[in-house]
């Protein structure tokens, strides 16, 4: 796995750190992780279920953590099961990512619009603007535009990156940015949801 951003590293519970560090960089589509994280995720879920005597997280945070972890595994059905339970800004955002990973571009755009007031989006866009390589390869993401336009452009860039004729450079940058987005959103969930 690429390095974990400090913003997430400072918030990531110790029992989740090894799971995230062991994961491979997720693909742009819902392919299962190799090696599989399934057993570790299921064990984490069982340990932290809200029925457990020492549940550490609210029901919403637990579900959104699981939505995120199943995205790492590439099991989009499981991720969808947890993200769709919460029509909050954060739940809608995880839902958007899941539909983007499954290639349901219009549905992804719908859920991104539902999450357009999430502050993670501005942080994500600032990350793109701060790196010359991203600005050079992904000019459609750095022009002045409204939040919803940016989110639609992000989905469109992902669609281009999974096309058979996509350049390796485009695919690499989009995968890196998808990983940044995943981390920023998970860190935000830990920070604002109890």
Residue 50: half-sphere exposure toward Cβ, Cα within 13 Å: 10
- Write the pLDDT tens digit of every residue in 17-40: 988 988 888 899 989 988 899 999
* 23 Cβ neighbours under 8 A, 6+ residues apart: 1, 33, 37, 72, 73
Tokens of 96: 């958007």
Q: What is the per-residue pLDDT for 144?
A: 87
Q: What is the per-residue pLDDT for 96?
A: 98
Q: What pTM was computed for the model? A: 0.94
Q: Is 126 exposed, middle or buried (0-12, 13-18, 19+ CB in 10 A)?
A: exposed
35: cis peptide before it, omega within 30°? Answer: yes
Least trusted range by pLDDT, from 12-16, 75-79, 164-168 = 12-16
Q: What is the per-residue pLDDT for 53?
A: 47
Cα Rg of the chain, angstroms: 16
Distances in whole angstroms, Cα of residue 158 to Cα of each of 33, 56, 60, 85, 192 = 19, 35, 28, 25, 28
- Write the pLDDT tens digit of every residue in 167-178: 999 999 999 999
Residues 11-17 have a mean pLDDT of 90
Q: How many whole angstroms separate alpha carbon 71 and alpha carbon 97? A: 9
Q: What is the average pLDDT score of the chain?
A: 93
Q: How many whole angstroms separate alpha carbon 85 and alpha carbon 32? A: 23
Q: What is the per-residue pLDDT for 98?
A: 98
């Amino acid at each position: 796995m690429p390095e974990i951003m400090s913003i997430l590293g400072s918030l990531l519970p110790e029992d989740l750190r090894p799971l995230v560090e062991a994961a491979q960089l997720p693909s742009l589509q819902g392919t299962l992780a190799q090696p599989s994280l399934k057993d570790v995720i299921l064990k984490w879920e069982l340990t932290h279920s809200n029925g457990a005597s020492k549940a550490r997280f609210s029901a919403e945070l637990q579900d959104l953590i699981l939505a995120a972890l199943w995205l790492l595994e590439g099991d989009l059905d499981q991720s969808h099961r947890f993200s769709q339970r919460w029509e909050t800004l954060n739940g809608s955002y995880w839902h958007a990512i899941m539909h983007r990973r499954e290639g349901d571009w219009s549905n992804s755009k719908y859920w991104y619009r539902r999450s357009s007031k999430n502050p993670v989006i501005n942080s994500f866009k600032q990350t793109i603007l701060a790196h010359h390589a991203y600005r050079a390869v992904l000019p459609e993401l750095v022009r002045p535009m409204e939040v919803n336009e940016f989110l639609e452009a992000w989905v469109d860039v992902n669609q281009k990156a999974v096309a058979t004729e996509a350049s390796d450079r485009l695919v690499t940058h989009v995968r890196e940015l998808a990983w940044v987005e995943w981390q920023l959103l998970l860190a935000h969930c830990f920070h604002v949801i109890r």
